[in-house]
Amino acid sequence: MKKPSGPGASALITAASIVVLLVLSAASARAQSRDLVKFERAKEQFRQGMVHFNNMRYLASVEFFRKALVIHPDYFTAREYLARSYRLAGFTEEALNEWEILADEAPDNALVRSRIDAIRFREGGLFAPGRAGEFVLADEYISADLRRFRFPHPVDVAVDPARNAYITSFSSGKLVKIDPNKQGIDVFAPALDSKLYGIDYFKGRLAVTDFGRDCVYLMNEGMKILKTFGASGNGEGLFHGPQGVCFDPRGNLYVVDSGNHRVQKFDEGGAFVLSFGRQGAYEGQLEKPSDCAADTERVYVADTGNNRVAVFDDSGNFLDNLSIEGSERPRGITLNTGTLLVADEKQGLLFYDTAGKNTASFDSWEGGKRRFRRPYAGIVDRDGFLYCLDYLQERLFIFSPLERRYSNYDIEIASIDVKKFPAVALYLNVRDRGGRPLYGLTRDNFSVTEDGARASGVYVDYLKDKTPSASMVLCVDRSRGMSGYHNDIPWVAEFVLKKMRKNDSLKVAGFNDDYRTENDFDWSRRRALKALKARSYGEGKNIGKALYNALTDVAPKLNRRGVILLTDGIVAEDSFVRYSEKIIIDYAGNHHIPVYIVCLREKNPALERIAAATGGAVFSAHEMDGLRGIYDRIRNAEEYRYVLVYSTFKSPTLKGWWSDIRVEVSYRNQKGTEWGGYFVP
Pairwise CA distance, residues 521 & 507, whole Å = 4
How much is the pLDDT for 107? 57
How much is the pLDDT for 13? 45
Pairwise CA distance, residues 198 & 208, whole Å = 6
Identify any residues that bridge with 578 across adjacent strands, giving them in sequence order. none
Q: Where in the sequence of the chain do the CATH 2.120.10.30 domains occur?
A: 135-405
Query: Would you give the distance in Å from CA 312 to the centre of its chain?
Result: 33
How much is the pLDDT for 125? 39
> C-alpha angle 138/143/148, rounded to 5°?
130
CATH code, 22-123: 1.25.40.10
pLDDT digits (tens, 9 = 90+) for 91-128: 999 999 998 888 887 655 777 877 777 777 666 533 33
Of 2.40.160, 1.10.287, 2.30.29, 2.60.40, the CATH number of 410-464+641-679 is 2.60.40
Q: Where in the sequence of the chain do the CATH 1.25.40.10 domains occur?
A: 22-123
CB 376 within 8 A of CB 396: no
How much is the pLDDT for 1? 40
Q: Which residues contact 12 (CB under 8 A, 6 or more apart)?
A: 4
CATH 3.40.50.410 fits 470-635, yes or no: yes
Q: Phi first, then psi: what are they for 385, rounded to 5°?
A: -75, 140
CATH code, 135-405: 2.120.10.30
How much is the pLDDT for 680? 94
CA dist list (Å): 260 to 99, 212, 241: 63, 14, 8
Alpha helices in 318-465 (DSSP H): 402-405
Pairwise CA distance, residues 197 & 193, whole Å = 13
Pairwise CA distance, residues 414 & 39, whole Å = 25
Q: Where in the sequence of the chain do the CATH 2.60.40 domains occur?
A: 410-464+641-679
338-344, long-range: CB < 8 A, 24+ apart: 339/130, 340/293, 340/300, 340/309, 341/130, 341/378, 341/379, 341/380, 342/302, 342/309, 342/378, 343/375, 343/376, 343/377, 343/378, 343/388, 343/389, 344/375
CB burial of 562-588 (b: ≥16 within 10 Å; e: otherwise) equals bbbbbbbbbbbeebbeebbbbbbbbbb
Q: Where in the sequence of the chain do the CATH 3.40.50.410 domains occur?
A: 470-635
Q: What is the DSSP letter of 494?
A: H
How much is the pLDDT for 124? 52
- The strand ranges marked E within 230-363 are 242-247, 253-257, 262-266, 272-276, 291-294, 298-303, 308-313, 318-322, 330-336, 339-344, 348-353, 359-362
Q: What is the DSSP letter of 195?
A: -
Q: Which residues contact 145 (CB under 8 A, 6 or more apart)?
A: none
CB burial of 242-268 (b: ≥16 within 10 Å; e: otherwise) equals bbbbbbbeeebbbbbbbbbbbbbbbeb
Q: Which residues of the chain have pLDDT under 50?
A: 1-13, 19-24, 125-133, 404-406
Pairwise CA distance, residues 351 & 380, whole Å = 11
How much is the pLDDT for 32? 59
